[in-house]
């Protein structure tokens, strides 16, 4: 039985976010659902983020500040998760905003549907405009499918989760890119989880786009490969070899288009499924095959054309 006034925990990892942090925390403090605890993890910031976070704690007892040496976003999320006391937990990123009724909407969805996870719509903001993003399935299997293919975002900021589902799951502290996707996959793999969907806006996801290509760090590339491998292992007993190969080949393509790294030795088992994959465009198959054959010109040409097209749209 869920009461109408259960404590909800919000975890906010913070690292050098002084430009955005005050607005982020104001959006949390202004929630219409007031029974909150807000755990701020200052991950070794060297700017004024710590002072901003501390000022919120001094004026609002729901806010709690924990400071640690810089250890990465996964370690910050893990630290916060181990401290939460709420019946439900959600994460917020320090450069984003929560919609005023976010927790009210998500909590009501869980109560009304007796669900374990409530997922809300969100507004994606970038320097060329806004996009309102909704979801269209409550079936867990379909939802996982859409997360794996990238149709749905795996961020934890629009998902209110029953805390007990997270107690035996941890963030891998060596993974600081797509760490949320790996964590969410572990939660979704659990049996008898019920998902509810709402199409009210709960979050403003800020995405500052600086370049179409070559804007992902080497560590992030490595993390994406590791997460893809781990996530595929989690769901390999649910999905076909062809679908798992599709996910791996999509990751290869992402790496090839956003770095200078070859993928010839990565996920070799997925190569035999590439040409028959109807969900990967021919031009993208050419990119992957070119890499396998040690031919770099098609990749460079494609990236050049993509960069020109991106610049012309700004």
Q: Where are the domains of the chain?
A: 8-206, 218-313
| Model pLDDT, residue 306 | 79
pLDDT class for 3, splitting at 50, 70, 90?
A: low
Q: Is the pLDDT of residue 304 over 50?
A: yes
pLDDT tens, residue by residue, 13-64: 999 999 999 999 999 999 999 999 999 999 999 999 999 999 999 999 999 9
Encoding tokens for residue 168? 């035996």
- Residue 124's DSSP bridge partners are 131, 205
Tell me which residue of 207, 161, 220, 218 sits closest to 185, measured CA to CA.
Answer: 161
Q: Is the pLDDT of residue 310 over 60?
A: no
Four-residue CA torsion sign, 79, 84, 87, 91? negative
Q: Coil, strand or helix: which one is 55?
A: helix
How far is Cα 61 from Cα 92, in angstroms, rounded to an integer?
18
Chain centroid, CA 159 distance in Å: 10
| Model pLDDT, residue 267 | 98
- Mark out the alpha helices in the chain (DSSP H runs): 21-29, 49-59, 73-83, 102-113, 140-149, 179-188, 218-235, 241-258, 282-292, 297-313
| Model pLDDT, residue 230 | 98
Instruction: Determine which of 29-38, 132-141, 154-163, 242-251 has the lowest per-residue pLDDT on average.
Output: 132-141
pLDDT class for 174, splitting at 50, 70, 90?
A: very high
How far is Cα 166 from Cα 116, in angstroms, rounded to an integer?
11
How far is Cα 110 from Cα 117, in angstroms, rounded to an integer?
7
- For the residues 141-158, what does the mean pLDDT come to? 95
pLDDT tens, residue by residue, 77-86: 999 999 999 9
Q: Is the pLDDT of residue 134 over 80?
A: yes
- For the residues 196-219, what does the mean pLDDT come to? 74
| Model pLDDT, residue 208 | 55
Separation in Å, CA 156 to CA 40, 178, 180: 16, 11, 6
pLDDT tens, residue by residue, 223-271: 999 999 999 999 999 999 999 999 999 999 999 999 999 999 999 999 9
Q: How many CA atoms lie within 13 A of 139 on its CB side?
A: 6
Does residue 3 or residue 206 have the better pLDDT?
A: 206
Chain mean pLDDT for the chain: 93
Q: Is the pLDDT of residue 212 over 80?
A: no
- 277 neighbors 242 (Cβ within 8 angstroms): yes
- For the residues 288-304, what does the mean pLDDT come to? 93
Four-residue CA torsion sign, 7, 13, 14, 20? negative
Contacts from 214-222 at CB under 8 Å and sequence distance 24+?
A: 214/258, 214/259, 214/260, 214/303, 215/258, 216/177, 216/258, 216/259, 217/177, 218/259, 218/261, 219/176, 219/177, 220/176, 220/177, 221/255, 221/258, 221/259, 221/261
- For the residues 207-229, what does the mean pLDDT come to? 73
Q: Is the pLDDT of residue 72 over 80?
A: yes
Q: Is the pLDDT of residue 182 over 50?
A: yes
| Model pLDDT, residue 138 | 77
CATH for 8-206?
3.90.550.10
pLDDT class for 213, splitting at 50, 70, 90?
A: very low
pLDDT tens, residue by residue, 83-116: 999 999 999 999 999 999 999 999 999 999 999 9
- Give the residue carrying structure tokens 């755990």: 39
Q: Is the pLDDT of residue 314 over 60?
A: no
């Amino acid at each position: 039985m869920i009461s109408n006034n259960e404590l909800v925990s919000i975890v906010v990892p913070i690292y050098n976010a002084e430009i955005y942090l005050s607005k982020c925390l104001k959006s949390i403090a202004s929630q219409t659902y007031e029974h909150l605890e807000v755990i701020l993890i200052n991950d070794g910031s060297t700017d004024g983020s710590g002072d901003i976070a501390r000022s919120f704690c001094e004026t609002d007892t729901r806010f709690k500040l924990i400071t640690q040496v810089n250890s990465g976003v996964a370690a910050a999320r893990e630290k916060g998760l181990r401290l939460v006391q709420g019946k439900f937990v959600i994460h917020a990123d320090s450069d984003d905003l929560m919609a005023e009724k976010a927790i009210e909407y998500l909590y009501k969805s869980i109560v009304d549907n007796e669900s374990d996870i409530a997922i809300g719509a969100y507004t994606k903001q970038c320097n060329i405009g806004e996009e309102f993003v909704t979801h269209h399935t409550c079936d867990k299997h379909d939802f996982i499918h859409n997360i794996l293919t990238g149709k749905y975002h795996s961020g934890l900021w629009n998902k209110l989760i029953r805390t007990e589902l997270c107690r035996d799951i941890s963030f891998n502290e060596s993974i600081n890119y797509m760490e949320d996707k790996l964590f969410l996959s572990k939660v979704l793999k659990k049996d008898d989880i019920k998902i509810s969907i709402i199409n009210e806006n709960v979050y403003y996801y800020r995405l500052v786009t600086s370049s179409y290509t070559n804007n992902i760090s080497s560590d992030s590339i490595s993390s994406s490969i590791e997460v893809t491998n781990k996530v595929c292992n989690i769901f390999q007993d649910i999905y076909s070899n062809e679908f798992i190969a599709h996910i791996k080949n999509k990751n290869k393509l992402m790496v090839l288009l956003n770095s200078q790294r070859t993928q010839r030795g990565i996920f070799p088992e997925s190569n035999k499924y590439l040409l028959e994959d109807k969900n990967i465009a021919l031009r993208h198959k050419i990119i992957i095959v070119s890499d396998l054959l040690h031919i770099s010109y098609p990749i460079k040409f494609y990236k050049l054309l993509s960069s020109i097209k991106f610049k012309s749209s700004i």
